[in-house]
């Protein structure tokens, strides 16, 4: 789920990217480049690479929560750019159909667990575990762009329908489904050489089971301040996000950004576990590429 991605983005950068869409001319030569990718837009990427990602993120414990989860991270990363199977920033995906304008794939994504020591509103209730999603994703290329002063960009429409699961790494439980349409924009080399920017606007609709995981209160967990609540399916919220990454050294890139989540009109605003209409996430860190293949991705 995007509200807990380790690469969260800032609202200011999102507005910057969107306003600059009016000053560009259409082109057909704008290859996709990952947000933290090291190669320039006109340089072939290696088929695989590996390294270390470090950083910090600060996110709500769950959608609309006023309590937060500050997490330092130091993780190995691996990227693979195969013809069919691919691993990258957005998880793993198996490409089913890939044409010039669209891609259909089966993808996997994940989210962090809540911090049980900082979640007083849910005291006495089951902990919120690590979440992951599996399902089809349609990516449609709306427009490729070429800036007059150099730099390239791409505007995509993404439609994601996924099954959601939770795990404490001892068992796995189904948590229903989520549908997430998203408009995303990425660009490189606009302000400075090899600098990347990313922006997106997404809506999230969740099934009854997933909504109940966040907002439901069964009778055994009722307290004086926490009434019973049976969550319903429907609108969960919207997210506006943006971010920037930039070269620091030959094989080191930095990134920073954030997101703002809007829960006005959400299906379960009356839940005693629903706290805030607007929440935010921020994050920053470094990516260090240790090694790469001599083979090039197509």
What is the dotted CATH code of the domain comprising 2-292? 2.40.230
As a whole number, mean pLDDT of residues 198-224 equals: 95
Average pLDDT over residues 134-163: 89
pLDDT per residue as tens digits for the range 158-201: 999 999 999 988 899 999 999 999 999 988 887 777 888 889 99
Mean residue pLDDT across the chain = 83
**CA–CA dist 143, 157 (Å, integer):** 10
Q: SS3 helix, strand, coil % of the chain, rounded to 5?
A: 10, 55, 35
Q: What is the pLDDT of residues 70-111, one digit of tens each?
A: 889 899 989 998 888 888 777 788 888 888 888 899 988 876
What is residue 188's predicted lDDT score, i.e. its pLDDT? 84
Q: Which two tokens stand for residue 279?
A: 């929440």
Higher pLDDT: 88 or 6? It is 88
b/e string for 73-107 if b means 16 or more Cβ within 10 A? eeeebebbbeeeebbbbbbbbebeeeeeeebebeb
Place of tokens 């330092």: 72
Instruction: Work out the number of other CB atoms within 10 angstroms of the CB of residue 116.
Output: 15
Mean pLDDT of 259-274: 96
Predicted confidence (pLDDT) at residue 40 exceeds the cutoff of 60:
yes
Q: Following DSSP, what letter does each residue of 25-62 receive, concatenated?
A: EE-S------TT--S-TTSPPBSEEEEEEEEEEEEESS
Q: What is the predicted pLDDT for the residue at 250? A: 85
How far apart are alpha carbons 161 and 178 in whole angstroms?
6
Q: What is the pLDDT of residue 161?
A: 95
Determine the Cα–Cα distance for residues 100 and 287; give it in Å rounded to an integer.
Answer: 30
Q: Is the pLDDT of residue 62 over 80?
A: yes
């Amino acid at each position: 789920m995007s509200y807990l991605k380790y690469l969260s983005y800032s609202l200011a950068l999102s507005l910057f990217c969107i306003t600059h869409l009016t000053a560009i001319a259409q082109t057909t030569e704008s290859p996709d480049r990952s947000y933290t990718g090291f190669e320039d837009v006109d340089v072939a990427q290696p088929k695989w690479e590996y390294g270390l990602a470090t950083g910090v993120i600060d996110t709500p414990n769950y959608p609309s929560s006023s309590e937060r989860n500050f997490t330092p991270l130091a993780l190995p990363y691996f990227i693979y750019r195969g013809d069919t199977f691919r691993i990258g920033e957005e998880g793993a995906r198996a490409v089913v159909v890939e044409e010039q304008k669209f891609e259909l794939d089966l993808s996997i994504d994940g989210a962090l667990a809540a911090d049980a020591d900082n979640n007083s509103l849910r005291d006495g209730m089951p902990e919120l575990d690590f979440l992951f999603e599996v399902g089809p994703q349609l990516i449609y290329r709306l427009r490729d762009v070429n800036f007059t002063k150099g730099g390239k960009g791409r505007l995509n429409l993404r439609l994601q329908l996924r099954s959601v699961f939770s795990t404490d790494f001892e068992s796995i439980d189904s948590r229903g489904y989520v549908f997430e349409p998203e408009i995303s924009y990425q660009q490189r080399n606009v302000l400075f050489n090899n600098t990347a920017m990313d922006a997106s606007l997404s809506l999230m609709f969740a099934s009854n089971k997933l909504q109940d995981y966040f907002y439901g209160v069964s009778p055994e967990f009722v307290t004086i301040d926490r009434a019973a609540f049976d969550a319903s399916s429907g609108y969960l919220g919207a997210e506006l996000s943006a971010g920037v990454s930039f070269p620091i050294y030959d094989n080191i890139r930095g990134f920073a950004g954030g997101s703002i989540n809007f829960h006005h009109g959400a299906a379960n605003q009356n839940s005693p576990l629903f706290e805030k209409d607007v929440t935010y996430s921020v994050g920053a860190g470094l990516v260090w590429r240790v090694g790469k293949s001599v083979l090039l991705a197509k």
